[in-house]
Amino acid sequence: MSADTRVPAARSFESGADAYEAHRPPYPAALFDDILRRRSRRPGGRILDIGSGTGRAAIALASRGALVDALEPSNDMLKVLTRRIQHEGVADRVTVRKAVFEDLSPDARYDTVVAAQSFHWTDPDTRWSRLASLLGSDGRAFLFWNAWNLDPDQHDLDAVADVYAAHAPELPPDLPRDLVSHMWADGQIDEHPDVRLDDRITYDWNSQMESAAYLRLLATISQYAIAPAAQRARLFDALGPVLGEEVHLHGTTLLLVVAGA
């Protein structure tokens, strides 16, 4: 993905942090338990959270006793992140810095790195070599993403597809598909000499919400956020009656455990 295609989508996170926190599905508790169980046990070691956003990973890990350095470039996300850290009582265990991954010193070292729904925003030309340098010979990175589909037993998926075809054919509908058996990171890890895939774990979950909440969830996704407002409004107006009063989702969280080669 080129810088030119990444920048407009990345800018979608310069606002809307409250909506992101309110409507994005959470990560499974077992994911964070697995990260802490598998991380290096170096005394006093801190966890680096790349693209911390509203702090979903940082706060979950700090609540379990970890020390976390949270990097986040968006002022709006930082505002929510700082508020949540105070509210959850973990301000003494989370250090917040306005920065991107590429701002880190070449000499920085972490035995544990996490990136929750964020590693695809890093520089594709340097991301894996930088990660390998951070981790050294015995560190581990935990990269994870949520994905979901509309439940085909609860929704008329042909009608959903027709709405998208009529109003927003370039936007991705949540129709059933192979969510995580292979993704962009798998191929890049396989091809890069500095890193290797140590493990690949999936966590399945289900979610149910009012249709209005689901549409607000869609609006937090970068492609929807940067779409023309009038087009997005037409799409959502047409989707509402097709979805019904409630939306049922099948979700999967993918965790990639990455080590230096």
Inside any domain, residue 236 = no
Inside any domain, residue 158 = no
Inside any domain, residue 104 = yes
CA torsion 6-12-18-24 (nearest 10°) is -50
Inside any domain, residue 29 = yes
Domain total of the chain: 1
pLDDT of residue 42: 67
Inside any domain, residue 15 = yes
The tens digit of pLDDT for each residue in 81-124 reads 999 999 999 999 999 999 999 999 999 999 999 999 999 999 99
pLDDT of residue 43: 61
Please state whether the predicted TM-score (pTM) of the whole model is above 0.85: yes
pLDDT higher than threshold 70 for residue 12: no
pLDDT higher than threshold 50 for residue 6: no
Rounded average pLDDT over 223-232: 94
CATH number of the domain enclosing 8:
3.40.50.150
pLDDT of residue 222: 87
Inside any domain, residue 223 = no
- Domain span at residue 93 reads 3-150+176-208+249-260
pLDDT of residue 14: 52
> What is the share, in percent, of the chain residues with pLDDT greater than 90?
84
pLDDT of residue 159: 98
Backbone phi, psi, residue 141, to 5°:
-110, 140
pLDDT of residue 85: 98
pLDDT higher than threshold 50 for residue 23: yes
Neighbours of 54 (CB within 10 A): 26
The DSSP string of 126-159 is THHHHHHHHHTTT-EEEEEEEEEEE-TTTS-HHH
Q: Which residue from 42, 50, 83 is spatially nearest to 66, judged by alpha carbons?
A: 42
Q: Cα 254 to chain center, whole Å?
A: 10
pLDDT of residue 177: 84
pLDDT higher than threshold 50 for residue 13: no
Backbone phi, psi, residue 71, to 5°:
-100, 130
Inside any domain, residue 129 = yes
Could you tell me the pLDDT band of residue 7, with boundaries at 50, 70 and 90? Answer: very low
Inside any domain, residue 253 = yes
Task: Give the residue, 202 or 180, on which the prediction is more confident.
Answer: 202
CA atoms within 13 Å, Cβ hemisphere of 117: 22
